[in-house]
Amino acid sequence: MIAGIIGATGYAGAELVRLLSGHPKVEKLTLSSVSFEGDKIENIYPNFLGRVSLPLLKAEEVIAASDVVFAALPHGVGEPFASACMDRKIHYIDLSADFRFDDDEAVYSAWYGKEYKYPQLHKNSIYGLVELNRQKIKELAKKGAVVIGNPGCYPTGGSLGAFPALAKGLNCPDSPIIVDAVTGVTGGGREPSRSFHYAECADSVSPYKVASHRHSPEIARNLSMMAAAGNNSAPKVIFTPRLAPVNRGILSDIYIPLKKEWSVTISNANLPPSKEIEAKTNEIRKLYIDFYKDEPFVRILPEGLTAATNRVRQSNYCDISVHVDINGSTLIVTTAIDNMVKGAAGQAVQNMNVLFGFDEKAGLDAIPALF
């Protein structure tokens, strides 16, 4: 199989090159880059020297030569390429936000300031969070070429951490779910900007786009879908992102107010966690383990271990740790992903594996790099 990558010289595109070059079902790669057209990928990223020596072509050449196309492009420019892929009846996996909202143009336009140029494409696209839409992706693939909207990095960690609680109706429907997340600087892409300049972000953790980040509606939509699947009401969501001076990773703390029947009555919250708190935490952890028992890339951590970004580095895993606060009324779920893999390129490869019926772990089964 030949896999094409449009936008191969951005961070997510280069990560796709790294992952797909070792994929057992990918025989050849074709790459394109507007910024570096005519150059070779190893001249842009010397880590590919001696391993991947490929010219950077025009996007049209990549589409014509490929069996599946990945697009790691800015928001608002991918629709023509998706249309060209559908004309050739080949799958198109988009890492931007262009196909994350299906045919809900109003939400996309409000948050991204762009309108759909090919509305029909969005009626036949599918949101590519595999743990949410695996069966739908498989069913669409049986009918022909599919456009996949690869999820955002923040929504991946935030959604996976909350899904079991919402599916089982643990949350208090009258209270909002709070998602606080910290990301590394690669989340801002390869193009330089002031906020990601070393002097601006080193030795500091800072919130940004508070109450206005455009991943907010994606998280809210995902949680509403999972709540509906469990016949539960949709929660309100409060999302705050933060930037940390690290290259990779997203750590999300998700605060889920518990229904009374899932809460623990505490007489003195100033004391250490009670046996009742520990028992409730274990009960909910078992619920999470059961919910994700068939998911190859979701790891529910055992008691005493808390999710951390260094343990998922360069992997497609989402690590989840489960905690009940000392008041007994709030579930605290911590998730860790590599924003460049499970939050972008790895998730895209996972989608390709599902589309083609490959082993879902193909090309993604490396042990995380701890250091």
The architecture that CATH gives domain 154-339 is 2-Layer Sandwich (3.30)
pLDDT the model gives residue 231: 84
Whether 241 contacts 184, CB under 8 Å: no
Give the strand pairing for 2-6 and 68-71.
parallel
CATH of region 2-151+342-356: 3.40.50.720
Q: b/e per residue, 241-278, with b = 16+ CB within 10 A?
A: bebbebebbbbbbbbbbbbeebbbebeeeeeebbeebe
pLDDT the model gives residue 357: 97
Domain ranges of the chain: 2-151+342-356, 154-339
Catalytic residue list? 153
* pTM of this structure: 0.95
CA distance 63 to 287: 44
Which mean pLDDT values do the consecutive 10-residue runs of the chain (371 residues) have?
Answer: 97 97 98 94 96 96 98 95 97 97 90 92 94 96 96 97 96 95 85 72 88 94 91 91 94 97 83 87 98 98 96 98 95 98 98 98 94 83
pLDDT the model gives residue 86: 97
pLDDT the model gives residue 222: 95
pLDDT the model gives residue 297: 98
pLDDT the model gives residue 271: 73
pLDDT the model gives residue 274: 84
Nearest residue to 243 via CA among 192, 195, 278: 195
pLDDT the model gives residue 323: 97
pLDDT the model gives residue 192: 62
Nearest residue to 108 via CA among 71, 152, 161, 64: 152
